[in-house]
């Protein structure tokens, strides 16, 4: 049997989706992959603390300090190579990756988005903006989507989706919390396990 797939989780903020992955790994729900590193685009992200508390190597790779997209992605590449990452999970990662970066990793970069793609997605739709747009449109159902990342923001193949009801008295903040609890935190570990499981099968077939 091949070893578990090595996962790098890219973050920018509090790391609640990272925590969902850590919890799934601890609970034995994420077994086909193992979190090898956490990389943050912001040095003060609480996600780095979450990683340290879980004993996972963590490091900041600052977009601002790098100075350019090319330099930033080169720094990311060095860290990904160093930890032997086979799958990259974007968990609240707020930097758009270039086509050059994503095209080298087809079906190996996974992202979670807080809507039912193709609704309320693409450039400029992140965080509370997504939920503000959903409430402004008056939709009765929203949710979350885990998808592969390609050169189009939120445009890659869908892996898993889960719907969440919108309540009449919802604010963007209450809707965001419900989508996280009922969809994102459940979907992301399940999707990462699914992707890593497929990679393990391919590896074992080649042995």
Q: What is the pLDDT of residues 145-159, one digit of tens each?
A: 999 999 998 999 999
Q: What was the pLDDT predicted at 163?
A: 98
Write down the pTM of the prediction: 0.94
Query: Do the beta carbons of residue 40 and residue 11 sit within 8 Å?
Result: yes
Whether the CB-CB separation of 95 and 73 falls below 8 Å is answered with no
- pLDDT-derived band of residue 134, with 50, 70 and 90 as boundaries? very high
* Token digits of residue 143: 């949710």
Helix, strand, coil percentages for the chain (3-state, nearest 5):
45, 20, 35
* 15-19, 62-66, 84-88: least confidently modelled range: 62-66
Q: What is the pLDDT, as a whole number, of residue 1?
A: 66
Catalytic-labelled residue, pool 50, 63, 113, 131: 113
pLDDT at residue 207 is higher than 80: no
The CA angle 49-189-157, to the nearest 5 degrees, is 120
Residue 67 predicted with pLDDT over 90:
no
Q: How far apart are CA 203 and CA 64, in angstroms?
A: 38
Q: What are the tens digits of pLDDT across the range 82-124?
A: 999 999 999 999 888 999 999 999 999 999 999 999 999 998 8
9 backbone dihedrals φ, ψ, rounded to 5°: -105, 125
78: left (phi over 0), alpha (psi -120 to 50) or beta: alpha
Whether 113 is catalytic is: yes
Taking only the tens place, the pLDDT of each residue in 175-204 is 999 999 999 999 999 999 999 999 999 988
CB 67: neighbour CB atoms within 10 A? 10
The full set of domains in the chain, from first to last, is 5-206 (3.40.50.170)
């Amino acid at each position: 049997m091949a070893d578990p797939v090595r996962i790098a989780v890219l973050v920018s903020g509090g790391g609640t989706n990272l925590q969902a992955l850590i919890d799934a790994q601890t609970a034995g729900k994420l077994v086909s992959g193992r979190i090898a590193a956490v990389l943050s685009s912001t040095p003060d992200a609480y996600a780095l603390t979450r990683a340290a508390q879980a004993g996972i190597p963590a490091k900041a790779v600052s977009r601002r300090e790098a100075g350019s997209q090319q330099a930033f992605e080169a720094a990311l590449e060095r860290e990904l190579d160093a930890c032997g990452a086979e799958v990259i999970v974007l968990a609240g990662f707020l930097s758009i990756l270039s086509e050059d970066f994503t095209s080298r990793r087809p079906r190996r970069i996974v992202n979670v988005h807080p809507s039912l793609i193709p609704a309320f997605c693409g450039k400029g739709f992140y965080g509370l903006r997504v939920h503000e747009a959903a409430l402004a449109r008056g939709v009765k159902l929203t949710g979350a989507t885990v998808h592969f990342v390609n050169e189009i923001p939120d445009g890659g193949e869908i892996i898993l989706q889960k719907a969440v009801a919108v309540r009449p008295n919802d604010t963007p903040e209450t809707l965001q919390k419900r989508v996280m609890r009922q969809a994102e935190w459940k979907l992301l570990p399940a999707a990462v396990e699914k992707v890593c499981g497929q990679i393990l099968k391919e590896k074992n077939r080649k042995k």
